[in-house]
Chains A and B, each alone.
Chain A
Amino acid sequence: MTRSNRLAHGVLYLCGAALALYIIAPFLWTLSASLRLESEIVLRPPNWIPAQPTLSNYLYVFTGQVPQEYGERGLLRSSITQEALRLPQGLVNSLIVAVLVTLINLSFGALAAYTFARENFRGRSNAYTFILASRLLPPVAVAIPIYLIINQLNLLDTKTALVLLHSAFTLPFTIWVLTLYFQSLPREVEDAALVDGCTRFGVLRYIVTPLAAPGLAAVGAFAFLFSYSEFLFALFTTQTINAKTVPVLISETANNPDASYTLIAVGIVLSIIAPIIFAIFFRRFITTGLAASLGK
């Protein structure tokens, strides 16, 4: 390695380290804040690593057992008590909604996309364009009427409403990516199976699905992450813990002026575990899925 080469590598690694720090520093600070007692929060400058790391904030969220220090100082207000204690149920709600949305995308989305990719029928282009164009509407433009529709369907404050809404918002992208994906697969095997008497659904089920697994993984991951993170519609169609999702709950905690800094941090940590695991696990599919959506 020449000297200038080594210098170049050094600069690159330095930039890489700066980037890594930029990305993870906010995560580390949140984690560190969630592991300390409220009394340690007020230190200036803060202890970057908690002097007495404690899981008592997490324990409180899951069991309702008030950390000793809060009780003594009367710091805990009723509002924050309820909000933070709802987080576990909120996590369950979020995961139920996100998993159902993912399954709907993988079933109805794949079914429709395969039809768009392979069947020729009257109205095909119009239907396809209609579905894709629906994504161009900014969500805020349809927010009010959607509230009224959900109200009319008697679905306010239900997980069903969120599943329907999130599916309607994710299916166009799913169908777009999967249609392109299915079209890129070799046609001959499918045609041979059709000639042999296999139905279109049978071809999709037994021949195409295994081949398209990476594409399905990508759109499934997108649908999951979208639904898990969606905030605006979850905010105004839900009212109680019956349907409130994690983003709604942690935003309430964070906007409560009485909320304890440490408990807010706990809420964030709990809210990001699932998507982080998901993103790391499906990284390859997400990256290639995004690259494919560049429209090749």
Chain B
Amino acid sequence: MTGQSAASRLQPSRLRLGRRVPNLYAWATILPVLILVAAFTLYPFGFAASVSLRKYILTQPNSHPFVGLRNFSQVIGDELFATSATNTLIFTLASVPLVTLLGLGVALLLNHPLRGFGVLRALVLLPWAIPLVSAGIMWKLILHGQFGALSGLLFQFGMIKDYIPWLSDPSLAMLSVVFAHLWREFPLPAILFLAGLQNIPPELYDAAKVDGAGVWARFWSVTLPLLRAPLLIIVIYETMIGIAVFDMIYVLTGGGPGSATTLISWFAYTATFKFLNLGQGAALSFIIAIALAVLIILYLRVLPTEEEATS
């Protein structure tokens, strides 16, 4: 970063030749983007930081006294915090492996150059391409307690006596959300893994075959190590998605029944927009942001780099 700007300072020839125009051009082209990004991310972030340290309730618009970390301690002390943090942990621990494994399985399947699989590769994009809200509501119709297709199917085959309220039964709601989320999320890992698989030189498999490696041995010793980069990206990305999941909860369960599917981001949303307590909402958002940052750093540390993997 500094190395480059120092280097350009060490090149007076550019100035002597009167080439200041490119710099003007450069700034003119990036300035609109810089302003937009600063206005809607940097400034709001600073603002949120300030709000999180104040008592800031929309119903009391004229008084925002500084309260230090009290918003943070109040939020963490809230009994919904423990519930929503636990729910988020359960949701993430269930959904990240499921999404990753299904994505990997689909990629391994689609990697076979069979006739007709081209159509499948196009189909796989669909759950990912449609709005999350649309996917959520589709599943709401499928899981509906009175007219849902899933209950209908099980009923048709005589596997259940009565329709099951998948989304309003506290013990089933979380599972149902995870499955709806899985359908929506597996395409991205599938596409990334497929791209990774297609980058593996076939000679490696030939060499492994010559060495007498079976299908499993080839998978463990060739495929999986070479998929480390997409795997890392997918696990980090899906964890972030899991922690930030919002749209799906909004349309499927609204955090309920009770607090059965109240995840941490839903808790932050209700604090902010239902109870209009912006200070606590901002404090919660910061806790989420910090958790995400810690997780990303942890992942990057735990998973070996590519050089280590290949050496």
Contacts and interface: CB of A to CB of B under 8 A. Distances in A.
A12 B27 CA distance: 54
Interface residues of A, number: 96
B251 A236 contact: no
Given A112-B33, A119-B22, A231-B250, A283 B122 contact: yes
B137 A141 contact: no
A143 B285 contact: yes
B130 A44 contact: no
B289 interface: yes
Contacts of A20: 119-120, 123
Interface in A117-142: 119-127, 129-131, 134, 136-142
Contacts, number: 276
A191 B140 CA distance: 56
Interface in A272-287: 272, 275-276, 278-280, 283, 286-287
A250 B141 CA distance: 13
B98 to A, nearest CB: 13
Given A141-B285, A231-B132, A283-B122, A115 B25 contact: yes
A187 interface: no
Interface in B260-299: 265, 268-269, 272-273, 278, 281-282, 285-286, 288-289, 292-293
A201 B1 CA distance: 25
B195 A294 contact: yes
A130 B34 contact: yes
A9 B42 CA distance: 54
A26 B142 contact: yes
B37 interface: yes
B5 A134 contact: no
Given A41-B147, A168-B37, A229-B132, A255 B254 contact: yes
Interface stretch (A71-79, A145-153, A212-220): A145-153
Contacts of B106: 19
Interface in B96-112: 106, 109, 112
Contacts of B23: 119, 121-122
B48 interface: yes
A151 to B, nearest CB: 11
A124 B278 CA distance: 36
17 contacts: A9-B114, A12-B112, A33-B141, A115-B25, A120-B4, A138-B292, A140-B285, A144-B48, A144-B282, A168-B36, A199-B25, A229-B133, A250-B133, A254-B137, A254-B251, A264-B140, A272-B134
Given A141-B285, A283-B125, A271 B130 contact: yes
A145 to B, nearest CB: 4
A45 B251 CA distance: 25
Contact of B281 (A131, A144, A255, A276): A144
Bin the interface of chain B by size.
35 or more
Nearest to A139: B244
A290 to B, nearest CB: 5
A115 B31 CA distance: 11
B72 interface: no
Contacts of B195: 287, 290-291, 294
B220 to A, nearest CB: 20
B183 A121 contact: no
Contacts of A201: 25
A65 to B, nearest CB: 24
B257 interface: no
A115 to B, nearest CB: 4
Contacts of B140: 254, 264
Contacts of A172: 37
Contacts of A62: none
A152 B114 CA distance: 57
